[in-house]
Amino acid sequence: MNSQVDVTVVLPIYNTDKYLDQALSSVEKNDRINLEILAINDGSTDLSLQIMREHEARDSRVRVIDKANQGYGASVNRGFREARGTYVAILEPDDYVEPHMYDDLFEFAMSFGMVTPPDVVKSPYWRIYMPGTPEETRLNCAYYDRIKPKRQPFTIFDCPRVVQHHPSIWSALYRKGFLEEKGITFKEVPGAGWVDNPFLFETMCRAESIVFKNTPYYCYREDLPGSSSATRVLSLSFERWNDMADVVERLGITDGGVLKALATIGFRYAGEAIGRGALDDPALKDQMAKLFSRIDEETILGLQNVSPQLRKLAFELSNRPVPSISKLGYLLGLVSEFAYATRCNGLGFAISQISRYRDRRKRQDKCSEGHSAEV
């Protein structure tokens, strides 16, 4: 093995001693490439730093960077600056990866024989559903077996669906030279701050070569107590959506597929917020109205994966005439989603999703009753 580092894995760590040993140990199982592991201690006050030092002492590939607390974005940026790898990757310390994720993805990137390797190497991930409970289950993510470009490498315009679902920026490799050439970094804000959203659009929209390997390796624990996804501030989702929309506008992207993917994310965030009472909060309602106003009428009408009621509300809140919207396309989409969920995760899970969907729609419908365009 030569001295050139192939992949640098960056772990931004803050008070995750419960899971950290598993996370680091899972990365260390990669043994076919020249790997660097940067454990960035972001001012942890638990046993995280001690665990990092123990791994550093027994594995020469691990290097600990100890610094004051600055947040997720600043920690990842520090790791990327210090990285010596051709590629960089992120592992969140309360998650873990299957053996040889980075070996496989790097070798996949090299298999294309390009003079300059692909800018982004993307893969699906495992959803660790209800982690730490007797009901813990491993499920395929929402884009498993759905990213099917006609050729590889490809760009976002060939397959915009690659940005439509969960940001999952950690199930990928990024060529460090590409990030440096484009000046792509993370937004630096306190805490986690949903900064993965704009990073996803910056990388995917500016990449000139993306390759996708339809094998899940990354194991993502969903909704852990105290995690950013469980304690998020509702307004933050709208702020980060606007950051993504700003990226699209700045780059002059008018591709219908990309605009549809961006709009789908916006409606998903709005639906979640409505179910949690956002329409009763004037500030949140105003943020939602501004989000909807940035989506053109044609795109809204074309979103068959969004309920007609929510699309009509979008027209109302953005002070536009409300058109007639057929339910047929939406209902056919639900049938298609049920078939996909059954194929990828089994009939039992698909049926459980129907119940969750009904509960979510009831909350949204109840919260939206009586609300109009007055913002």
pLDDT in tens, 62-91: 999 999 999 999 999 999 999 999 999 999
pLDDT category, 170, cuts 50, 70, 90?
Answer: very high
CATH code where residue 102 lies:
3.90.550.10
Q: How confident is the model at residue 370 (pLDDT cuts 50, 70, 90)?
A: low
Given a cut of 60, is residue 146 above it in pLDDT?
yes
- How far apart (Å, rounded) are the C-alpha atoms in residues 126 and 148? 19
User: Which of 232, 252, 281 is a domain's end point?
Assistant: 232
- Give the DSSP H/E element, type plus range, for residue 11: strand 7-13
Q: Check whether 355 has a pLDDT greater than 90.
A: no
Q: Which of 125, 166, 149, 164 is nearest to 209 (CA)?
A: 149
263 and 192 in a common domain: no
Are 70 and 173 within one domain?
Answer: yes
Residue 375 belongs to a domain: no
Residue 219 lies in a domain: yes
Higher pLDDT, 284 or 3: 284
* Residues facing 62 on adjacent strands: 37
The answer to the question of residue 1 being in a domain is no
> Is there a domain that residue 343 lies in?
yes
Question: In terms of Cα–Cα distance, which of 110, 96, 93, 87 is closest to 173?
Answer: 87
Burial class from Cβ neighbours inside 10 Å (0-12, 13-18, 19+) for residue 250 reads exposed
Please give the structure tokens belonging to residue 176: 């460090």
Both structure tokens of 189: 């804000």
Same domain flag for 147 and 286: no
Residue 189: per-residue pLDDT? 86
Domain tally, the chain: 2
Q: What is the pTM of this model?
A: 0.92
Distance of CA 354 to CAs 58, 300, 311, 337, 341, Å?
48, 24, 21, 10, 10
3-state helix, strand, coil in the chain (%, to 5): 45, 15, 40
Task: Look at residue 136 and tell me if it is in a domain.
Answer: yes
- pLDDT of residue 362 exceeding 90: no
- State which residues form the domain around 297: 236-368
Contacts of 140 (CB under 8 A, 6+ apart): 124, 126, 127, 216, 344, 345
Structure tokens of 373?
Answer: 């365009």
Give dist(CA 145, CA 142) in Å, integer.
Answer: 9
Tens of pLDDT, residues 216-233: 999 999 975 544 443 357
Instruction: Judge whether 183 lies within some domain.
Output: yes
Residues 176 and 255 in one domain: no
* 330 and 315 in a common domain: yes
Asked if residue 345 belongs to a domain, the reply is: yes
Residues 91 and 176 in one domain: yes
Using CA atoms, how far apart are residues 308 and 328, in angstroms rounded to an integer? 10
Candidates 60, 141, 66, 133; CA nearest to 341 is 141
**Domain co-membership, 296 together with 339:** yes
Average pLDDT on 93-118 reads 98
* Same domain for 147 and 135: yes
Q: Cα separation of 325 and 304, whole Å?
A: 10
Cβ atoms of residues 267 and 166 within 8 Å: no
Last residue of a domain, one of 216, 232, 248: 232
Q: Are residues 285 and 248 in the same domain?
A: yes
Q: Residues 176, 320: one domain? A: no
Judgement on whether residues 247 and 319 belong to the same structural domain of the protein: yes
Residues 176, 184: Cα–Cα separation, whole Å = 10
Note whether residue 181 is domain-resident: yes
134, 109, 111: which is closest to 122 by C-alpha? 109
Alpha-carbon gap, residue 343 to 42, rounded angstroms: 41
What does the DSSP 8-state code read for residue 99?
T
Can you give the pLDDT at residue 55?
Answer: 99
Same domain, 21 and 131: yes
Measured in whole angstroms, the distance separating CA 43 from the mean position of its chain's CA atoms is 25
Q: How confident is the model at residue 261 (pLDDT cuts 50, 70, 90)?
A: very high
**What's the rounded mean pLDDT across residues 8-37?**
98
Tokens of residue 123, six digits: 């893969």
Last residue of a domain, one of 196, 216, 232: 232
